[in-house]
Structure 1
Amino acid sequence: MTQSRRWEGLLFVAPFLFVYSAILIFPLLRGLWLSLFRIELFGPGHFIGFGNYERLFGDPIFQQSLINTFLVTLMIVPPLTVIALALALALNRAGRTAAFIRGIFFSSAVLSVTIVTLIWRFVLAPDAGLLGEIWKSLGWEPLPFLSDVHLVLPALAITTIWWSVGFPMLLFLAGLQQIPQDMYEAAALDRASRWTTFSRITLPSLKRTLILVVMLQTAAQLQMFGQSQLLTAGGPSGASRTAVLFLFESAFGRWELGYASAAAEVLFLIILAVTLTQYWATGQMRVGGRGRAG
């Protein structure tokens, strides 16, 4: 009877396992195999072992793309988390007005990356963009956000924060609505200040949601592609070329599928390492917190 139930359970999950393996597991293993070959899109390849990886780690363009990826991730994740939490705190109330404003902030999340980059190209363009016109009306020289090596990554970060803030805001709203109201009532009876209530009740109760938002956004921004490719094409002088844009250019610009697969595998390992490090660090924080509480 137990063996029969096991087979029934396997039959129920078999469709999911098949699709999961076809979409994720097989491409991962296939990419790992391709990374060991020098192969172009058209034509036979030949086995070179770890030659693509040796070439990759000596490639200054790939190294710069990794630096750009980490920098833009650091520019996005902390501000995005703070802004989303602040919006959730401000809009965590009943009423049509709050619901309407929540809809406005979430509306950008449903836009495609093409529309988002088109909007922000009109905003950031120094000659006829919105910010350029505002700068001119104030008597200032418009800033070349998309053509200055020092401004292009902040421009990508601002664009991404505007586009991505809706989803983490909803996650924080869901977390806030799970906090028991009697805790706030007890704090009010004790005449606790707003900061004390936030730091002692709200923030600790949102710890899991906060960790989830940071981990999801970190993994997402390490895979940034559309903004860099459509808004700046990796320029100027590669200052906004991300790791995914690098492997895209390698695969479909120079037709080096093996080399691009090696870059994809390295990026996968980096994302996995960062995610596991974040998970381990948050686990250590929880253990430390329990120890102090004990």
Structure 2
Amino acid sequence: MSTAQIKRTDWSGFLFILPYLVIFITMIVIPLFWGINLSFQKADLFGPGEFVGFENYARLFNNKIFLQTVGNTFYFVLLTVPVLVVIGLGLALALNKEAPLQNVLRGIFFSSTILSVTVVTLIWRIIFIPNDGLMANIFTQFGWEPIAFLSDPDWSLISVAIATIWWCLGLPMMLFVAALQQIPKDLYEAASIDGANKMQSFLFITLPSLYKTIVLVTIIQIVMQFQLFGQALLMTQGGPNNTSRSIVMFIYDAGFRRWDIGSAAAASQILFLLILIAAMAQFIVTRKKGEQI
């Protein structure tokens, strides 16, 4: 093969990925560096910014509301991600059968995922109505005092987490179902012949085989749940007393209500860094555990 043919082959391969590279650079790389640049400026929506260095970051770390939103967001991630992984895996194990009923149930559990955030929050606001909602009626039937879930500081973020888990459960379930169907049945047959029970098969065949999928689902959910916005905005408006306000809500308020683009950009970079650290820490820890297995 001549040098000219090799060059043509190389360039033809590059042309296949060129559309993706253009979109990636335009939609991700350029906005990322633009946001980093804005985070070092005092800027609004109506004119050029003024370079202020790390002033925006210093203001954020001295802002009690911002620090509270960071804590709220971490708490929300802890409330949702483990539950989504565990329940998603449990549903996948229960529905990993080729039968009409199981197929219908998969569709039912996945159906909530396709709903918009507006519909989801409307459903759960009705459920959490203090006196006449579904939860209030259940509490009354058992003789308990109904809880004002959305206006109680101790329950507001938990209520948003419950709605989010119901909304997002379909994706982890389907990913686990797909992974379970890739495990060779010969492994279970061999284990059964050797006298292994169902629990031993689950611990020594199923879980190790699902390791990469568990890591994938966990990282996807970490990235998604750190970006809490619509549910909290529509269900609680970030209240009461900012107990359900997330970092993204703070960014929205700073950028589009107070027109403080510099602070909003700085908060965005902090959120990006937190997501990156959390996802990488989860990946490193689970990879080490996987190597031990």
Unaligned runs of 5+ in 2: none
Give 1:67's aligned amino acid. G
Distance 1:201 1:83 in 2: 19
SS at match of 2:242: coil
Give 1:264's aligned amino acid. S
Distance 2:196 2:167 in 1: 36
Are 1:31 and 2:35 an aligned pair?
Answer: yes
Task: Identify the residue that residue 164 of structure 2 maps to in structure 1.
Answer: 160
Are 1:12 and 2:16 an aligned pair?
Answer: yes
Task: Identify the residue that residue 65 of structure 1 maps to in structure 2.
Answer: 69
Tell me the alpha carbon deviations over residues 118-173 of structure 1, each in whole angstroms, 9 at most, x when there is no partner.
10000011122111122223332210110111111211111111001101000000
SS at match of 2:154: coil
For the aligned residues, what is the CA RMSD? 1.1
**Structure 1-normalised TM-score?**
0.95
| Range with bigger deviation, 68-77 or 149-158 | 149-158
TM-superposed deviation, 1:3: 2.0
Aligned counterpart in structure 2 of residue 277 of structure 1, from 275, 278, 281: 281
Tell me the alpha carbon deviations over residues 28-74 of structure 1, each in whole angstroms, 9 at most, x when there is no partner.
11111111111112234311111101111111111110000000100
Aligned counterpart in structure 2 of residue 200 of structure 1, from 187, 201, 204: 204
Task: Identify the residue that residue 267 of structure 1 maps to in structure 2.
Answer: 271
**Residue 97 and residue 256 in structure 1: after superposition, are their counterparts in 2 closer, same or farther (change >3 A)?**
same
Tell me the alpha carbon deviations over residues 79-129 of structure 1, each in whole angstroms, 9 at most, x when there is no partner.
111101110000000111110010000000000111101100000111221
Give 1:83's aligned amino acid. I
Task: Identify the residue that residue 51 of structure 1 maps to in structure 2.
Answer: 55
CA contact (8 A) 2:211 2:290 kept: no
| 1:1-294 matched pairs, under 5 angstroms | 1-289=5-293
TM-superposed deviation, 1:274: 1.3
Distance 2:47 2:135 in 1: 49
Distance 1:218 1:90 in 2: 24
TM-superposed deviation, 1:193: 1.6
Percent identity over the alignment is: 47
**Structure 2-normalised TM-score?**
0.96
SS at match of 2:248: helix
Provide the aligned length of Structure 1 versus Structure 2: 289
Distance 1:38 1:27 in 2: 18
TM-superposed deviation, 1:191: 2.7
